[in-house]
Amino acid sequence: MQLLFYKGRASIWDKFICLITASPYSHVEVVDYIDNYNNYVCWSADAWDGVVRNKSISFNPAKWELVKIKDSINTIDWFEQHRNKKYDFLGLLCTITKISLFNTKDKWFCSEIVAEYLGYRDSWKYTPAKLYKELKCSQVS
């Protein structure tokens, strides 16, 4: 299994996430498969799309970092259960402030849904930066 971490530079939103998390990463995607055109078909919750969705992404190493991990969960089945759930802007603020006041499983932000998919406890606490660090540390162990 592979994850794509976006090196947020494109928008003010991306730059804001990078600034408050002191990280180059503003977004994360779970790679489901690579299509016939070498695009990565991925799942995530996306602020621009406003929902949990799958999307074809043209991989560019200047914009994305690919992280390989071990996993045995069926990506499509798991994410289909969450498809079209709303993006969680308030939940993202909870992560930033470290207060779970508005946390709900009816809405998701990118790193939260990926951490939940991977089976991490308190998935709402994960920013793209924290998830990246956790994965990189677990690969060393």
Give the model confidence (pLDDT) of 70-114 as tens digits.
Answer: 766 777 889 999 999 999 988 877 777 777 666 777 899 999 999
Give pLDDT, residue 8: 80
Sign of CA dihedral 129, 135, 136, 141: positive
Reading the block at residue 66, the tokens are 């690919």
Give pLDDT, residue 72: 65
DSSP string for residues in the chain: -EEEEEE--SSHHHHHHHHHHTSSEEEEEEEEEE-TTSEEEEEEEETTTTEEEEEEEE--TTTEEEEE----S-HHHHHHTTTTPEE-HHHHHHHHHT--TT--SSEE-HHHHHHHHTT-TTGGG--HHHHHHHHHHHHH-
Predicted TM-score (pTM) of this structure: 0.90
Domain positions in the chain are 2-140
- Taking residue 128's Cβ as centre, other Cβ atoms within 10 Å add up to 26
Q: Which candidate, 36, 1, 21, places its Cα nearest to that of 109?
A: 21
Q: How far apart are the first and last CA of the chain?
A: 18
Q: How do residues 26-35 score in pLDDT, each as one tens digit?
A: 999 999 999 9
